[in-house]
Amino acid sequence: MIAIETERNWKPVIKEFEAVVGKNGVVQRREELLVYECDGLASYRQRPALVVLPRTTEEVAKVVKICDRNSIPWVARGAGTGLSGGALPVENCVLIVTALMRKILKVDLENQQVVVQPGVINNWVTQAVSGAGFYYAPDPSSQIVCSIGGNVAENSGGVHCLKYGVTTNHVLGLKLVLPDGSIVDVGGEIPEMPGYDLTGVFVGSEGTLGIATEVTLRILKAPESICVLLADFASIEAAGESVSDIISAGIIPGGMEIMDNISINAVEDVVATGCYPRDAAAILLIEIDGLEVEVATNKQRISEICKQNGARNITTAHDPETRMKIWKGRKAAFAAAGHLSPDYYVQDGVIPRTQMAFVLKEIEGLSEKYGYQIANVFHAGDGNLHPLILYDNSVEGALEKVEELGGEILKLCVKVGGSLSGEHGIGADKKCFMPDMFSEVDLETMQWVREVFNPKGLANPGKMFPTPKTCGEAARAKMETVNKLEGVELF
Amino acid sequence: MIAIETERNWKPVIKEFEAVVGKNGVVQRREELLVYECDGLASYRQRPALVVLPRTTEEVAKVVKICDRNSIPWVARGAGTGLSGGALPVENCVLIVTALMRKILKVDLENQQVVVQPGVINNWVTQAVSGAGFYYAPDPSSQIVCSIGGNVAENSGGVHCLKYGVTTNHVLGLKLVLPDGSIVDVGGEIPEMPGYDLTGVFVGSEGTLGIATEVTLRILKAPESICVLLADFASIEAAGESVSDIISAGIIPGGMEIMDNISINAVEDVVATGCYPRDAAAILLIEIDGLEVEVATNKQRISEICKQNGARNITTAHDPETRMKIWKGRKAAFAAAGHLSPDYYVQDGVIPRTQMAFVLKEIEGLSEKYGYQIANVFHAGDGNLHPLILYDNSVEGALEKVEELGGEILKLCVKVGGSLSGEHGIGADKKCFMPDMFSEVDLETMQWVREVFNPKGLANPGKMFPTPKTCGEAARAKMETVNKLEGVELF
């Protein structure tokens, strides 16, 4: 990584940016920059030096090239709804915001594809094709505000990702601007592409390899029939057990979500769905989709499994209105938690489904140990937990304690064979935990890839990896590890 | 790339290899090396200097390290059934063969995973778990002989990949030996992993980035019900049209295969399934799987679509025996073509489904133009064509003409928006066509990744890319392209 100037004369650089994006495309007034200080992870803040708003691939390439030539670090930002600080600015950086890149460039129903600019809102994709009976599957809770570019950077998930996969399973191709300003196409319009799968590497790379300026998305045919089943339980373990049993029976529903009593009541207080039983220890929400006959059969089988696990009540909804009402509660769960306490911290970890009962018990123990209430809302089918730690940031030292608690939860996930993140990414927030999950050699192999795309380290520096290393440092460290291994060998 | 010695004193190196894998693990006699001269693409041949047969990850690492230290190029080989020459030796190379790495290391039914060594035969995975009601989805025609390591290298497909995806969708994690001999884990036991998706890059990298020594595979619950539908048509276009209509109706069958009249008769001559009507212009084989009710409904809907497209007869088979018989014919189609002429050349290209009728007509024209019969057998649902060009290699110049014809078919696929390879890979065979599909910058970006894993170019040299370049060359060439782009820019 090269030295980054802290005391810079920004005037000539601003002129260069303005020549590309126009005067209105550069935000430089201190008070206007305020809103760009953080993303959805509001506990970290850093004001960028400038915000630049390009409109096209070519403009992005020129902006990145100016940064490259002037050694200015830059961070790409979509809608800023990310929860791991992936779009958190760094000191004296340029924030490249895709808010003006909101065109749907192509809708190809015959080949089930849509090409969009990165600033397009997730939900707009479905809106653009739903009239013709299609939809875009990945559906983060923030889908009415989050952007496709951010979804690509973080490899976002959502309720429907149990059956249909996360963002990477729905991105066919990308037009990229790499950190040297070159424009590259990876992947394409058909799923089978020869060569290395660079589309796969880029999705989830959290802005460290470049910016996607066009995204080719796969859209799916909407199912013939959809039913939402709501089962309520006297214990969260019974809800978890039902999830395991459903999967073991070979049924893969569209989505399976668990909300605990705290979340249920928070949601009913705020959104008042009227559907969630306030006295349940947990509810299990299951979306069943497919052919009408298939939905009917699976509804029957799932209901039986829930009953066997002690479900108190099971209700089902077929009509769109009731289904929306049930899901609205789940999608508003994070926001509703905000009404329970002045602040909350969302954790995002993954565990093997088989460990669910054990991990939930442990989280309960940690909640007691630290003295913070934890609400549990999660993608149960994927084992993707979202513990919400409720706290008050105005209490001195609270954030530090909450972060420590969050860290303990993450380490627990990794310990049982899970992952540091299901869908929110590593960003600025979790990079220090990467060594808990990956060996030194594993991490350095990833960093080789970063160095090759981003050799100067200007693209989203300080994210994802615990200690950003230069190419030379990473190579040396790796050789040391190799040599260490070699020590136990024959020769 | 470093200079490779052609005149080498192999004796001390053989000693080193023997110290790792034992005397029996090194094959050096000329006549024993003969069988390793080529893979399934028999038109290219090159004898390796040595064959080494390691048994464990550690042995592979040591073998690779000996190659690295002595600057010996090496090529990994599984069962040698590949059709693009991916396992073709290079001059004076060591062939690292995984034939002794055939252990199934772990079966975890609860988490639906199996960990295998790379030499494990594809079909063994299903055999290991079928008793418990599971299976491994990717099923190349060669599945009873091809190895998982080769499947990973080539990102193999198969009949069932229409609904369930190709190999990359079923590999959760890999233990790798990189070309410097280091051992790295990528991916893991759960699908959601933070960091770059290096598993995705490695799958399909055709042996150019290292060797997979342990593969964690996802297994699926076997469907409740399976039905195979065989529809016969008076024209291949009508069969193709039926495929489009089925997908457009929102039905994704387990697999959809088309065989033309030549293939039908070749198969009946050789395998005598007794199921294929010899006078049909084409047959469409469709596997419908899922719940019993779902299969019944989809069978009905698919039959109607086929009838609307003029299907003459539709037969269905539910019992495993008849289903096997129907599929046996399809799986034997390549081998059966071998009985129609002394030699045949299998092409592997992908087209958008919407272009099928046009492309088949063009292939017919090319067949007439070159004077070679072409049999068509293909994964119709994916648009993955496998034209089999029938020829006699003993006729001087025939192979050249056939390769030219094959090349024209590939260019046609790319021209209509398709791909150079659906599942067989690029290997030695198709690398010269890569520039038809990718721009110079796109290819060089891929080569950056290769250089970072394989900086000396010792791992499977000369495959996949048209002109192997050193890191420096690739970087320079890329900068030239970037500068060219810059020429049209503002500054």
**Tens digits of per-residue pLDDT, B378-411?**
999 989 999 999 999 999 999 999 999 999 999 9
Range B274-290 average pLDDT: 96
- Which positions in chain B touch A222 (Cβ < 8 Å)? 250
Q: Do A491 and B291 touch (CB under 8 A)?
A: no
Average pLDDT of the residues in B446-472: 85
Lowest-confidence range among A49-63, A113-127, A237-251, B299-313?
A: A237-251
- Would you call B109 exposed, middle or buried from its count of C-beta atoms within 10 A (0-12, 13-18, 19+)? middle
Q: How does residue A265 score in pLDDT terms, banded at 50, 70 and 90?
A: very high
Mean pLDDT of A427-433: 93
B464 in contact with A, Cβ within 8 Å: yes
Count CB-CB contacts under 10 A for residue B274.
9
Say whether pLDDT at A63 is over 70: yes
Structural tokens at position B318: 């539910």
The pLDDT of residue A43 is: 82
How much is the pLDDT for A488? 32
Q: How many CA atoms lie within 13 A of A31 on its CB side?
A: 0
SS3 B272: coil
**A135-149, A459-473, B72-86, B369-383: range with lowest mean pLDDT:** A459-473
List the single best residue of B190, B192, B213, B451 to mutate versus A (max A Cβ within 10 A): B192
Question: Is A192 in contact with B168 (Cβ distance < 8 A)?
Answer: no
Beta bridge partners of B238: none
For residue B192, the chain A residues in CB contact (below 8 A) are: 157, 166, 350, 382, 384, 419, 421-423
Least confident segment among A15-29, A194-208, B184-198, B460-474: B460-474
Q: What's the average model confidence in pLDDT over A416-436?
A: 92
Sign of CA pseudo-dihedral B130, B135, B138, B139: positive
Q: What is the mean pLDDT of chain A?
A: 91
- Which run of H or E residues covers position B114? strand B113-116
Q: Do B184 and A442 touch (CB under 8 A)?
A: yes
pLDDT at residue A478 greater than cutoff 80:
no
Q: In the block, which residue shows the tokens 């019900």?
A: B225
Whether residue A447 has pLDDT greater than 60: yes
- Chain B interface includes A396 (CB < 8 A): no
Of A65, A188, A290, the CB nearest to B294: A290
Q: Report pLDDT for B5.
A: 55
Phi, psi of A199 (to 5 degrees): -60, -45
State the nearest Cα–Cα gap between A104 and chain B, in angstroms. Answer: 20
Chain A residues with beta carbon closer than 8 angstroms to that of B430: 194
With 80 as the cut, is the pLDDT of residue A414 above it?
yes
Interface of B with A in 29-88 (CB under 8 A): 58, 61-62, 65
A382, A162 Cβ separation under 8 angstroms: yes
A183-208 pLDDT, tens digit each? 999 998 887 788 999 999 999 999 99
Q: Is B22 on the interface with A (CB under 8 A)?
A: no
Residue A462 has which token pair?
A: 């300080």
Contact present, A209 and A201 (Cβ < 8 Å) = yes
DSSP codes, B342-369: SEEEE--EE--GGGHHHHHHHHHHHHHH
| Predicted pLDDT at A471 | 41
| Cβ contacts of B197 on chain A, cutoff 8 Å | 168, 197, 200-201, 203-204
What percent of chain A is predicted at pLDDT more than 70? 94
Question: How far, CA to CA in Å, does B108 sit from each of A11, B104, B130, B132, B204?
Answer: 61, 11, 13, 11, 25
- How far, rounded to the nearest angstrom, does the alpha carbon of residue B55 sit from its chain's CA centroid? 24
**Closest partner residue to A485 among B110, B169, B182, by Cβ?**
B182
Q: Other C-beta atoms within 10 Å of B370: how many? A: 17
Quote the pLDDT of residue B490. Answer: 27
CB atoms B297 and A298 under 8 Å = no
Q: Which contiguous run of DSSP H or E holds residue A315?
A: strand A313-317
Please give the pLDDT value at position B6: 60
Nearest chain A residue to B466, by CA: A195
**Distance, CA of B144 to CA of B121 (rounded, Å):** 7
A184 near B CB under 8 A: yes
Q: What's the rounded Cα separation, in Å, for the pair A192 and B204?
A: 10
Positions of E strands within A20-100? 26-27, 50-52, 74-77, 94-97
Of A135, A2, A120, A16, the closest CA to residue A66 belongs to A16
Q: Which of A168, A192, A296 lies closest to B197 in CB terms?
A: A168
For A84, nearest residue in chain B (alpha carbons): B194
Confidence (pLDDT) at B468: 52
- A468 has a pLDDT exceeding 70: no
Mean pLDDT of B141-153: 96
Distances from the Cα of A159 to the Cαs of A33, A137, A164, B423, in angstroms?
Answer: 33, 9, 10, 31
- Count the residues in chain A: 491
Put simply, whether B93 touches A (Cβ < 8 Å) is no
- Domains belonging to chain B, first-starting first, are 15-97 (3.30.43.10), 104-221 (3.30.465.10), 225-416 (3.40.462.10)
Percentage of chain B lying above the pLDDT 90 cut: 84
Rounded Cα gap, residues A407 and A403, in angstroms = 6
Q: What is the pLDDT of residue A6?
A: 60
On the question of pLDDT at B416 being above 70, the answer is yes
Please identify which residue in the block is written with the tokens 């233990």.
B175
* Cβ atoms of residues A143 and A158 within 8 Å: yes
> Which chain B residues are Cβ-neighbours of A445 within 8 angstroms?
178, 182, 184, 186, 198, 453
Residue type, A336: A
Q: Could you tell me how many helices (H) and strands (E) chain B has, helices first? A: 17, 19
| Residue B384 dihedral angles phi and psi, to the nearest 5° | -95, 100
Is A194's CB within 8 Å of B420's CB?
yes
Best of A21, A170, A192 to mutate (most B CBs within 10 Å, chain B): A192
- pLDDT value of residue A321: 94
The answer on pLDDT for B482 being more than 50 is no
3-state secondary structure of A130: helix
Distance from A397 to chain B by nearest Cα, in Å?
A: 29
Q: What pLDDT, on a 0 to 100 scale, did the predictor assign at position A191?
A: 75
**Candidate from B186, B384, B464 with C-beta closest to A192:** B384
Instruction: Give per-residue pLDDT as tens, A269-325.
Output: 999 999 999 999 999 999 999 999 999 999 999 999 999 999 999 999 999 999 999
ipTM, 2 dp: 0.88
Whether A192 sits inside 8 A of B16 (CB atoms) is: no
The two structure tokens encoding residue B110: 């609860």
**For chain B, how far is it from start to end, CA to CA, in angstroms?**
35
Q: Which residues of A445-460 are buried (b: 16+ CB within 10 A; e: fewer)?
A: bbbbbbbbbbbbbbbb
If contacts are CB pairs under 8 Å, which of residues 298-337 in chain A contact chain B?
A: 298
Q: Is the pLDDT of residue A486 over 60?
A: no
* Average pLDDT value for residue range B318-323: 95
Using CA coordinates, name the residue in chain A closest to B18.
Answer: A490
For B226, residues 6+ apart whose C-beta sits below 8 A from its C-beta are B254, B287, B288, B289, B295, B318, B323
* pLDDT of B330 above 80: yes
Residues of chain B with C-beta less than 8 angstroms from the C-beta of A180:
478-479, 482
Give the mean pLDDT of B65-91. Answer: 96
Do the Cβ atoms of B209 and B450 come closer than 8 Å? Answer: yes
Least confident window among A372-376, B155-159, B477-481: B477-481
Mind listing the pLDDT tens digit for each residue in B333-365?
988 988 899 999 999 999 998 899 899 999 999
CA dihedral B384, B390, B395, B400 (to 10 degrees): -10
Predicted TM-score (pTM) of the model is: 0.91
Residue A465, helix vs strand vs coil: coil
Q: Give the pLDDT band (50/70/90) at residue B472.
A: very low
Q: Cβ separation of A195 and B291 shorter than 8 Å?
A: no
In this prediction, residues B287-306 reach a mean pLDDT of 96
